[in-house]
């Protein structure tokens, strides 16, 4: 379905502040997630999304609180299961704008097995991963994206596990939209979220979102991040892969974007082909007999 089904009437627009719920964020002061949330409000406002036609789903962790702070429908699910949850919501009502949010632990550890399937199926959802490279809610253990050698209370001799590369991983899984942002650059993050929501298909957005309490990386990411080269063609997957593997800079922007049928469109077309022979009631009854 088209995003137009979830847009407010042309003579109506809500300010970003009107997408704030009555629930106040309880993240640590300075948490990068505040920047992501503000960008999310701005993206919904600029796209004129109807709060009654939007759903935000989450798993567990600091990012899991996200849906409560948004004036829209929300679902706080279980650890690592946000993608099946968001897929079910979208397939149940394709007219909705569905956004899934998670952290690096929720997305790339316990939930990692769901990521390739959401990508290959091209489910029409936007998956925003707030990556702070640590398990913040559980007091600072290394996560799947923590750098090798990171010393913290839970890894006093340095982490011995190599970090994964989320951008490279989702490109390999054939996600149809792959991007990366940094919470300290809210205008750019707002634009990435807007592009992710308007993209017809699975949109993956990794956002560096530092944890000021257990692993403050603001200075680090300001030094090592850079915009994607101006001449980068986001339809060139091989170029996107090379940039994702770069050891010179951690690039920000849209790495890859490709239009292909989304899962709900494919299911709808199969139903149309089946015609009268397709009936959910008949299918259910067939299992009862």
Q: What are the sequence ranges of the domains in the chain?
A: 3-260
Read off the tokens for 21.
């719920």
Q: Is the pLDDT of residue 268 over 90?
A: no
The neighbour count for residue 151, using CB atoms within 10 Å, is: 11
Instruction: Give the model confidence (pLDDT) of 18-37 as tens digits.
Output: 999 999 999 999 999 999 99
Quote the pLDDT of residue 289.
Answer: 66
- pLDDT exceeds 80 at position 99: yes
Which class is domain 3-260?
alpha beta
Query: Do residues 19 and 44 make contact, with C-beta atoms less than 8 angstroms apart?
Result: yes
Q: Which of 109-123, 182-196, 268-282 has the lowest mean pLDDT?
A: 268-282
CA-to-CA distance for 85 and 51, rounded, in angstroms?
19
- Cβ–Cβ under 8 Å, residues 215 and 287: no
CB 125 within 8 A of CB 114: no
The answer, yes or no, to whether residue 236 has pLDDT greater than 90, is yes
Q: Which of 201, 144, 145, 134 is nearest to 173 (CA)?
A: 201
Confidence of residue 274 (pLDDT cuts 50, 70, 90): low
Give the list of residues 6+ apart from residue 129 with CB closer than 8 angstroms, or none. Answer: 101, 102, 103, 104, 107, 108, 166, 204, 205, 206, 207
How many alpha carbons lie under 13 Å from residue 202 in its C-beta half-sphere?
Answer: 23
Name the residue among 81, 24, 22 with its Cα closest to residue 57: 81
The pLDDT tens digits of the residues spanning 146-197 come to 999 999 988 999 999 999 999 999 999 999 999 999 999 999 999 999 999 9
């Amino acid at each position: 379905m088209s995003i137009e089904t979830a847009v407010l009437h042309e003579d109506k627009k809500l300010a970003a502040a009107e997408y704030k719920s009555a629930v106040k964020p309880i993240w640590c002061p300075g948490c990068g997630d505040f920047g992501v949330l503000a960008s999310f409000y701005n993206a919904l406002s600029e796209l004129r999304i109807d709060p009654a036609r939007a759903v935000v789903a989450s798993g567990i962790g600091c990012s899991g609180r996200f849906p409560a702070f948004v004036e829209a429908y929300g679902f706080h699910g279980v650890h690592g299961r946000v993608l099946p949850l968001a897929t079910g919501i979208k397939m149940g009502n394709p007219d909705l704008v569905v956004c899934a949010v998670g952290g690096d632990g929720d997305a790339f550890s316990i939930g990692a097995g769901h990521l390739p399937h959401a990508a290959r199926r091209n489910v029409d959802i936007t998956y925003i991963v707030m990556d702070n490279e640590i398990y913040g809610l559980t007091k600072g253990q290394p996560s799947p994206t923590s750098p090798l050698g990171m010393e913290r209370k839970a890894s006093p001799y340095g982490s011995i596990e190599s970090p994964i590369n989320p951008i490279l991983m989702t490109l390999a899984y054939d996600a149809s939209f792959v991007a990366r942002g940094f919470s300290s650059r809210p205008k750019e993050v707002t634009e990435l979220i807007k592009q992710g929501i308007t993209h017809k298909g699975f949109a993956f957005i990794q956002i560096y979102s530092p944890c000021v309490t257990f692993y403050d990386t603001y200075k680090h990411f300001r030094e090592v991040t850079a915009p994607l080269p101006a001449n980068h063609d986001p339809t060139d997957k091989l170029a996107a892969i090379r940039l994702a593997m770069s050891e010179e800079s951690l690039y920000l922007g849209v790495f890859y974007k490709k239009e292909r049928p989304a899962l709900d469109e494919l299911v709808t077309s199969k139903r149309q082909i089946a015609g009268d022979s397709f009936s959910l009631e008949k299918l259910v009854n067939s299992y009862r007999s």
